[in-house]
Amino acid sequence: MNRITNQMINNTMSYNLQRHQTEMDRIQNSLATGKNVNVPRDNPIAATNQMLYQSRLTEIDQYLSNINESRSKLDEVDSALQSTLRIFQRLRVLTVQGAHGIYTSFELKEAAATEINQLLEELVNIANTKGATGRSIFGGYKTGTESQPNPFVPIYQTLTSGNQGDAMIGVEYKGDIGELQREISKGEYLSVSIPGNQVFWATNQILTSNRDVSAYTAATNQAIKIDGKEINISAGDNLDIILDKLNNAGLSVRAIKGGTNNLILETTTPHQIWLEDVGSGTVLKDLGLINANFPEPPSNIDPTVTISGMSVFEMVIKLRDDLVRGDQLLIGGEDLGLIDMGLENILKSVALVGARTNRIDEVAKRTEYDKGNVTQMLANTEGIDYAETIMNFKWLESVHRYALAVGAKSIMPTLMDFLR
């Protein structure tokens, strides 16, 4: 039978008192900070969950920031489109008036041409709108340079008809087809811009190569890009195989073999076609569609290609010229039809922006809900119940006090205590 010495009793009592004191210090610290876990050793499992919740909250806050930025960018696009709609509405009024022969005198024709030129200038200004960051909202990925700050570049010429002076005769698009994207949820991306080659195009575009390519066969494995989508062309592919690949690529472009074994590309939605040979490939060049000596698209179309289709700027320019000539038949027929087509395309862009905004709102609601849940879980993990914690502290304080009292009575002084 082991003998229990006074030293053993003292050691046990000291250990228990120290343990009580440590726990009381921990509870006091929790009461001061309001947190259940101040250092990982307080509760390793809770500490791990706490770090996971904090990491998730940081991620959610970033998504909410992206959502707010996306909403702002889409609001900028929508505002520009609404301004464009107002211009189109005025242009339609002028077109209907011109079709009914209102602008018969030289003075009235001159006034109409002047107003249309002003509307045309404003339309170009809207197309070159810059957002809060100074970036063109319809220029794709291109942010502009000092020498070329805007994606849409007007071309002027002195016109004697209608006393117009220096008037716009064309507009070139110098942007690209990129769409800015933001991650609004984990793995979920949303386009927050629309490239100018889509928004400001009135009709379907048709590119007709004038080269007989019936004997064409791809010499090597190559790739081409149409409207930014890469399509692989294998060695030995002839025109028929290439047509099949283009028509099954999910593009808004239809490929047709012409009557002279030439290649024809026609858009199925109004936009300006973007053609590129990838790397050192020459497929589109060999098919007679692009010229490698020209710069990047859309200015790389071969001069021999027949191009049909109009931008909204060309459409307005045509309307102006027909009004000055007083050609009521064209104004009431072709011009009015073109105005309606351009208006319809702008409305489609407005609807697209609206759909994206609605999607953002839904994702924002879901993200805010997730943030509330994670915040509550974090509070439950690291927070304390003050009433319960104070009660535990009082209980532990009482136990500690009683332990001290009991210890004072149970540990009797010995001869060694007096000798010390």
- Please write the tens of the pLDDT for every residue from 343-362: 999 999 999 999 999 999 99
Q: CA–CA distance from 268 to each of 170, 239, 265, 299, 346 (Å)?
A: 24, 21, 10, 21, 16
In this structure, are residues 254 and 230 in contact, taking their beta carbons and an 8 Å threshold?
no
Q: What's the token pair of residue 195?
A: 């490239």
More confident residue, 75 or 47: 75
Judging by beta carbons within 10 Å of its beta carbon (0-12, 13-18, 19+), is residue 169 exposed, middle or buried?
middle
Q: Which residues pair with 172 in a beta bridge?
A: 153
Select the CATH number that applies to the domain covering 53-203+310-370 from these four: 1.20.1330.10, 3.40.1000.10, 3.30.70.100, 1.20.1290.10: 1.20.1330.10
The band of 242, judged by pLDDT with boundaries at 50, 70 and 90, is: very high
Span 86-104, pLDDT tens digits: 999 999 999 998 888 787 7
In this structure, are residues 71 and 356 in contact, taking their beta carbons and an 8 Å threshold?
no
pLDDT at 405 over 80: no
Nearest to 225 by CA among 268, 183, 277: 277
Cβ neighbours of residue 265 closer than 8 Å, sequence gap 6 or more: 206, 207, 226, 246, 253, 254, 255, 256, 273, 275, 289
**Which amino acid belongs to residue 408?**
A
More confident residue, 132 or 289: 289
More confident residue, 167 or 46: 167
More confident residue, 338 or 418: 338
> How many angstroms separate the CA atoms of 66 and 3, rounded?
73
What is the DSSP secondary structure assignment for residue 130, as one 8-state letter? Answer: B
Domain residue ranges in the chain? 53-203+310-370, 206-308
Please report the pLDDT score of residue 386 as a whole number. 61
Cβ neighbours of residue 133 closer than 8 Å, sequence gap 6 or more: none
> How many angstroms separate the CA atoms of 61 and 8, rounded?
57
Please report the pLDDT score of residue 108 as a whole number. 76
> How many angstroms separate the CA atoms of 57 and 371, rounded?
7
In this structure, are residues 101 and 323 in contact, taking their beta carbons and an 8 Å threshold?
no
Among 49-53, 241-245, 393-397, 409-413, the least confident range: 409-413
Percent of all residues in the chain with a pLDDT value above 90, rounded to a whole number: 61
Please report the pLDDT score of residue 283 as a whole number. 96
- CATH architecture of the domain 206-308 equals 2-Layer Sandwich (3.30)
